């Protein structure tokens, strides 16, 4: 499973990237706003840092404007994936930009039919939003599993990018359902290391190291 980091914070991306944990980055208008940076400037910095796809989202809602924005975004760097919303206009923009040879991430996906449309429009990535479905008492994992089945049934090569990941369990479940990629905030990725039995076991080893005076260096 590929790990994308869902943030526009350079330091957080760099820290995970140094550990080989970053296969790509996703941003959205809310994350750009949170960073307080200019979208072009911060996106360029992220693209310079990370080798994999960096999703940058259009601001327009009309297909022609989305296409024009997408063509400007892809000038930032070769690893830009243009992010478009899952609307009819977004699908038109997806088709045009993917026909141009650009990576497209179709975002705000909440149904299997939407995912089917995005794949037919040539999307590189489809982003089902797990956490936001959970927020309204629906199971985001059912959606990931349904999209996996549909894409496999028909051989679509659009990658399933599990998004709106809020918990470490979302990561495990997305992997079990066969998502190709997951994107999560840096804090969620770092929390994946935590286990109380690891802490307890290490405490016991440290006590024995001290008691026995074990030294290596
Ligand atoms: C993904 O591309 C989105 O930027 C993100 O995962 C949305 O997450 P949220 O629902 O926690 O805002």
Distance CA 95, CA 62 (A): 14
- What confidence tens digit (pLDDT) does each residue in 25-42 have? 999 999 999 999 999 999
Distance of CA 177 to the CA centre of its chain: 16
pLDDT at 192: 98
Q: Which of 2, 34, 72, 83 is catalytic?
A: 83
CA–CA gap between residue 85 and residue 76 (Å, rounded): 20
**Half-sphere exposure (CA, 13 Å, Cβ side) for 12?**
18
For the Cβ of 105 lying below 6 angstroms from any atom of ligand 1, the answer is no
List 107's β-bridge partners, or say none.
85
- In order of 59, 137, 172, 176, 177, the CA distances from 165 in angstroms are 23, 15, 10, 14, 14
What pTM, to 2 d.p., does this model score?
Answer: 0.96
pLDDT in tens, 6-30: 999 999 999 999 999 999 999 999 9
Residue 183 Cβ < 6 Å to ligand 1: yes
Tell me the sheet residues that pair with 103.
81
Asked about 83 being catalytic, the answer comes back as yes
């Amino acid at each position: 499973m590929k790990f994308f980091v869902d943030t526009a914070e350079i330091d957080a991306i760099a820290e995970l990237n140094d550990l080989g944990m970053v296969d790509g980055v996703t941003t959205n208008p809310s994350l750009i706003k949170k960073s307080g940076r200019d979208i072009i400037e911060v996106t360029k910095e992220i693209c310079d840092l990370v080798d994999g796809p960096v999703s940058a989202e259009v601001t327009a809602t009309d297909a022609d404007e989305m296409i024009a924005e997408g063509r400007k975004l892809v000038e930032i760097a070769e690893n830009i994936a243009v992010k478009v919303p899952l609307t009819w206009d977004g699908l038109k923009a997806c088709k045009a930009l993917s026909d141009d040879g650009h990576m497209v991430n179709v975002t705000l996906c909440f149904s299997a039919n939407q995912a089917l449309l995005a794949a037919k429009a040539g999307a590189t990535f489809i982003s089902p939003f797990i956490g936001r479905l959970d927020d309204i008492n629906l199971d985001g994992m059912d959606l990931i599993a349904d999209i996996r089945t549909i894409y496999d049934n028909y051989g679509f090569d659009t990658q399933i990018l599990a998004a709106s990941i809020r918990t470490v369990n979302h990561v495990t479940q997305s992997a079990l359902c066969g998502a190709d990629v997951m994107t999560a905030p840096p804090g969620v990725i770092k929390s994946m290391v935590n286990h109380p039995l690891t802490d307890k076991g290490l405490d016991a080893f440290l006590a024995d190291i001290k008691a026995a005076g074990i030294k290596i260096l």
